[in-house]
Amino acid sequence: MNNSGIIYTGMQYSAMLIILAGLTSIPTDPFESAMIDGANRWQTLTKITLPLLRPTIFTAVLLRLIDVMKTFDIIYSMTQGGPGFATETMNILSFRQAFEFMQFGQSGATLVLFFFVVMAIAALTIKLKSKTEVDF
C-alpha cells in the first residue's frame, strides 16, 4: 500500500502545527500584565498574541508557499496541466518541455528561473519577517 497520499494530505497541516508550537512558546507574563491593566480579549489578541506570533506565522507561510509552488504530482495526475493551460505550473511546463517536446535546455532554463522566483519570494518574506519582529 502506498502511503504517499497520506503524507501529501498531511503537509497542509504543517503550518497549523508550526503556529500551534509558536502559541505554546509565548510566555504568560504579557497576558497576565494585560489582564491586570484591563485589556479585553481583542486587545490581547491584536497587541500581544499576534505581534509575538508574527515571526512564527511568517515562517509557516514561507514553508507552505514553497510547498505549494513545487506541487507537481497531484496536478499532473489529475489534469496534466489542462484544460488548455489552466492548471499548468512552472513544474509541469518544464516537464512537458523536457519529455514531450525534447527541449531539455529550455526545460532546465525554466527550472532555474523557477528557482530564482522561489528564492526571491523567500528573501522577500524573510525581509518582511525581520522588519516586523517584536522584542520582548
Residue among 14, 132, 109 at smallest CA distance from 66:
14
Q: How many domains does the chain have?
A: 2
Q: Are residues 110 and 132 both part of a single domain?
A: yes
Residue 136 has pLDDT above 80, yes or no: no
Based on the fold, state whether residues 2 and 42 are members of the same structural domain.
yes
The answer as to whether 63 is a domain residue is no
Same domain as 30, residue 85: no
pLDDT digit string (tens) for 14-26? 888 889 999 999 9
Q: What is the mean pLDDT of residues 105-115?
A: 92
The predicted model scores a pTM of 0.68
Return d(Cα 22, Cα 125) in angstroms, integer. 18
76-94 pLDDT, tens digit per residue, is 888 887 788 888 888 888 9
Average pLDDT, the chain: 83
pLDDT at residue 6 greater than cutoff 50: no
Considering the domain architecture, whether residues 131 and 97 belong to the same structural domain is answered as yes
- Specify whether 24 is located in the same domain as 80: no
Is 85 contained in some domain?
yes
- Does residue 134 fall inside a structural domain? yes
**Contacts for 129 with CB less than 8 Å, ≥ 6 apart:** 54, 55, 58, 59, 62
**Residue 64 belongs to a domain:** no
Whether residues 78 and 48 share a domain: the answer is no
Domain, as residue range, for 4: 1-56
- Claim to verify: residue 8 and residue 47 sit in the same structural domain: yes
- Quick one: 75 and 50 in the same domain? no
pLDDT of the residue at 132:
65
Same domain (yes/no): 46, 74? no
